[in-house]
Structure 1
Amino acid sequence: MKESSFIIRMLENTREILPNYHDYGYVLDKILQVMQEKTECSLKFYLDSEGQEEIWTVLQEDIDVSRAQLVANIFDYIETGTITYEQNGDQQGFVIKPSLNNAVYYYPDHQVALIKLPIFQNHADYEREFILAENDQALLVFLAYVYERQKEIMKGCVTVFTDTEDGVERTKEWITQQVSREDVLLEEELKNEIYRSIDEFFNESGEFYKTYNIPYKRGILLYGPPGNGKTTLVKSIAGSIDAPIAYWQITEYTSSYSIQEVFSIVAKMAPMVLVIEDIDSMPESARSVFLNALDGATSKEGLFLIGTTNYPERIDPALINRAGRFDRAYEIKTPSLALREKYLFGKKIDRFLRKEDILYLARQTESFSVAQLNELYTSAALQWHYEQSVDLYTLIQNLKAANEKARTREWETDEYSSMGFEM
């Protein structure tokens, strides 16, 4: 790139002539001086017009493993550390981390510096992000590193996108309890079909799709009543593939902006899995943008899309009536008698119940979801723990009554069970 010639130079003007620019330029000039002294490199400023949050996500991780170095904090009397609460497996608690704001970080292997600079003005304070690199090629190599590093970071955890009033919030949730494929309570034929589709998609970067000239994109829709293992199925997928997985929570704040942002992020991470939870909750105002995003030739390349819903009747027919959006829809039903027996024996409930009692439980819980079976097991275990006996009939009837109240929304209200506050 040809070197630019500048019309106005800060060092040739005083604060009285260019007050706002002078203050702004003065800080950046001091940063460049420090970088020149410590790196002996001549760095240039670049603008990230894509808003790539991945750069800063990777930086936070790289500080922890010393891949990025703190050159200096910028202003005194501004925070240099942040308090966060982290949970990773059995390890959890408060940790103090260096602040990204008000600091200059440097990647010596890439000759790239990252800056989050606080800007102080009369009407508002804000921060601005800067990227410094020795040249264009060094920056392009660094960006390639960022996205490979991001994929590495995303493995072993689930990236969660939540649409909020302030935009897309991104968090990281570690898979603290591995869910094996054997733990997923589905009919074997259905389970095998879903896992075969997943495995072939990520086997050798989709070689099957290239061999048979099939577009490298896939979408499945999981539907059925709540509590029957759709989330467990997703967890088992996350723990059994060597690819990033992201979870997108649709809310009333989902908009054309958040849709474009999420698809822009996952396109750079592909091949990967994107789970869209409660897809029926997509606001009407955003549906056309969402459909267009699904139809985009490049936005879904390398993307395995999983949509979930408890209310298939609310799904926009356009989602599943056109090829290239959701290719298959799978109903996740309440477990059959054989699956209920498998679940109860799998929980080792025979430690305190006889086999005939377990078979009785399985027969009497015909309409129970997996979540309700789990609650039944927990209640039975608690009763056995404290009383050394289990009243199966009463437990089943109480759960059936609670389920019926939840279904019909017939809640008792009296002075002891009122929900709310008396004025």
Structure 2
Amino acid sequence: MSSVIKINEKANHPQPIITASGDGMPGLDIVEYGDYAFVIQSIQARLEGQYRARFQLYVQEDYGQDLWDQLERDIQADNPEVERLCAVFDTVEARTFTFGDAMEGEGPRMFPSLRNNVFVYPRFRVAMARVPMFRQHGISSEDFIWAESDAGLAEFLKDMSRRQRQYDREQVTVFKDTRDGLDRERESLTRGVRRDEVVMNEGVKTEIYRSIDEFFAQDRHFFQTYGLPYKRGILLYGKPGNGKTTLVKSIAGSVDAPVAYWHITEYTTSDSIQEVFEAAVRMAPMVLVIEDIDSMPESARSYFLNTLDGATSKEGIFLIGTTNYPEKIDPALMNRAGRFDRAYEIKLPDEEQRRSYLLLKRLHELLDDEAVAVAARATEGFTFAQLGELYVSAALRKHYEHTVDVEQLVREMNAELGKGRTQLWHSDQKSSRVGFTTG
């Protein structure tokens, strides 16, 4: 719900202390402010001349680039709702291009650049401009928003928020901490993983999906009935390749809510933690997946825990943490309510699960039922990832040799896996190990 806040003012239409003409501060020469004011006044004059209305300059108080991201998408999609009024500077670029994705059959595309142009949403009487600012050491940019009225801006923001949420549902947001700060990308939802394609313990699977479905129920009846806070956190742990990522993909593809992945690295800091959770709160209700949570740097762990404990930091967020190394997890993550509520071990598949997975991969199209059963029995200790590789190897063998000895394939794979465990890579190698030494 939007609102316009009114405050008492000491005079009708009070005048600024300092003006671009220098009134109010005789003898003071503010060069940079004069340049800034000239640009702003020029844009404002063009707006008012074009639309026959007075525009007011606004600043966005809360953090975020969502408005500008949405504007950029509108520009690239040639949305008729937005108009390019004019360029700001005549000798700064006003158009840009992309090569397009050749794999998707896309060619080069040209369109107005986000920087150095004034864009207007006429229906709301709102204008946006990312204006180049000339500094001593180069060109930076400042973002400006104008509107004819508070009411028009409020309607514009509601519309942008609605469209942003729809976009968030259609794309996966990926956060990654880098040397240069938090990187944020969007990835299209490719073919998702159906829930019936997830092979795991049925009891655990049912419990996880049930908690997800209750969280995103439209009326939140469950949480209201039992007086529960509208937040939830689960931790998935197990050996690499056991299906944690597949489970998460099935969740992402089956909930009608935004999903974000956060890749923690050695560059994760308190600043990036705050940035991720601020973005998550704006997207809520949503799913936030924190991959390899054991990688959280020691210097950032305390701030991360405090963020999880915040009264509103997780409101509307279903948090999923994953780790291959639960022994490295800070015990404080699990020893306090409101952080991670449950931890689920994603175990190695048993024989029946291995058989179900191999059938899901369509191994029965390469082998008869008895051979599939043999493969399921012979692959004890295999992860789902290794079972997937068994299918690929069988398909290659079938394609080139027209026959598949699945027991031989399993023996070969076990031999290779054994080399990885023992580090004895050569057949004549007795005891030397391959690896790195320190000292």
| Superposition TM-score, scaled by structure 1 size | 0.92
> 2:399 — aligned with what?
385
> 1:9 — aligned with what?
19
State the Cα distance separating 1:355 from its structure 2 match. Answer: 1.3
| CA–CA separation in structure 2 for the residues paired with 1:99 and 1:73 | 9
Map 1:4-403 → 2, pairs under 5 A: 4-11=14-21, 17-63=29-75, 64=77, 65-84=79-98, 94-403=108-417
Relative to structure 1, the CA distance from residue 217 to residue 93 in structure 2 (aligned partners, 3 Å threshold; closer, same or farther) is farther
CA contact (8 A) 1:87 1:174 kept: no
State the Cα distance separating 1:354 from its structure 2 match. Answer: 1.6
Matched residue pairs, number?
416
More displaced stretch, 255-264 vs 83-92: 83-92
Relative to structure 1, the CA distance from residue 112 to residue 377 in structure 2 (aligned partners, 3 Å threshold; closer, same or farther) is same
Matched position secondary structure for 1:204: coil
| CA–CA separation in structure 1 for the residues paired with 2:177 and 2:199 | 30
2:55 maps to a residue whose letter is L
Relative to structure 1, the CA distance from residue 312 to residue 86 in structure 2 (aligned partners, 3 Å threshold; closer, same or farther) is farther
| CA–CA separation in structure 2 for the residues paired with 1:66 and 1:411 | 62
| CA–CA separation in structure 2 for the residues paired with 1:346 and 1:384 | 18
Matched position secondary structure for 1:10: coil
State the Cα distance separating 1:385 from its structure 2 match. Answer: 0.6
State the Cα distance separating 1:111 from its structure 2 match. Answer: 1.8
Sequence identity (%) = 50
Residues 173-227 of structure 1 deviation map (CA, whole Å, 9 limit, x = unaligned): 1111121101111121111111111001101142210122111110000000111
| CA–CA separation in structure 1 for the residues paired with 2:425 and 2:41 | 67
| CA–CA separation in structure 1 for the residues paired with 2:174 and 2:346 | 23
Matched position secondary structure for 1:371: helix
CA contact (8 A) 2:22 2:29 kept: no
State the Cα distance separating 1:11 from its structure 2 match. Answer: 3.5
Matched position secondary structure for 1:300: coil
| Superposition TM-score, scaled by structure 2 size | 0.88
CA contact (8 A) 1:279 1:315 kept: yes
1:217 maps to a residue whose letter is K
Structure 1 segments of 4+ aligned residues over 6 angstroms from their partners: none
| CA–CA separation in structure 2 for the residues paired with 1:390 and 1:209 | 54
| CA–CA separation in structure 1 for the residues paired with 2:417 and 2:187 | 31
Relative to structure 1, the CA distance from residue 205 to residue 100 in structure 2 (aligned partners, 3 Å threshold; closer, same or farther) is farther
| CA–CA separation in structure 1 for the residues paired with 2:189 and 2:293 | 23
CA contact (8 A) 1:103 1:115 kept: yes
2:363 maps to a residue whose letter is I
CA contact (8 A) 2:131 2:142 kept: yes
Runs (5+) with no aligned partner, structure 1: none
Residues 374-406 of structure 1 deviation map (CA, whole Å, 9 limit, x = unaligned): 111001101101110123233222322332333
Runs (5+) with no aligned partner, structure 2: 1-5, 429-433
CA contact (8 A) 1:341 1:359 kept: yes
CA contact (8 A) 2:261 2:289 kept: yes
Relative to structure 1, the CA distance from residue 278 to residue 88 in structure 2 (aligned partners, 3 Å threshold; closer, same or farther) is farther
CA contact (8 A) 1:89 1:175 kept: no
State the Cα distance separating 1:23 from its structure 2 match. Answer: 2.0
